[in-house]
Amino acid sequence: MSAPSVVAWVVVCLISMAATDYSGKWSADSPATGGGIVAVLQQDGAKLTGSAGPAEAKQFPITTGKVEGDHLVFEVKMGGGTIHFDLTGTAGELRGTARIFSDDGNTDSANVVLKRVPG
């Protein structure tokens, strides 16, 4: 293999290994929860922090969060319970489930699709 071919191959490998940064604002209409979801995420390597809630003006901090490749997992403690998000991401969409664990012992889940908010 010639030197230019090796360099081109290395560049292609490095580009394909570059992970998507999921930092930013994401939103979804969620008929299952009777409203919407707005998440403001900050990614630092595998660590995911930020907040989520039913509106931009009503946010709750992410208590645990991690990113492994295109897989995002995070929890938000809200009044009355905890929501566990288990999502798979692309550059413009996060898709997966939100499992609600109520403080009274009830559980529920819903499929969610969050879209990246430009800006």
State how far the Cα of 48 lies from the Cα of 94, in Å rounded to an integer. Answer: 14
**In the chain, where the domains are located:** 20-116
DSSP assignments along 63-87, one per residue:
EEEEEETTEEEEEEEETTEEEEEEE
Structure tokens at 35: 């409203």
Label residue 102 left, alpha or beta by phi (over 0 means left) and psi (-120 to 50 means alpha): beta
User: What would the pLDDT profile of 42-72 be if each residue is shown by its tens digit?
Assistant: 999 999 999 999 999 999 999 999 999 999 9
More confidently predicted of 5 and 64:
64
pLDDT at position 7? 47
Tokens of 75: 């929890």
- Does the domain at 20-116 match CATH 2.40.128.30? Answer given as yes
Q: What pLDDT, on the 0 to 100 scale, is given for residue 29? A: 81
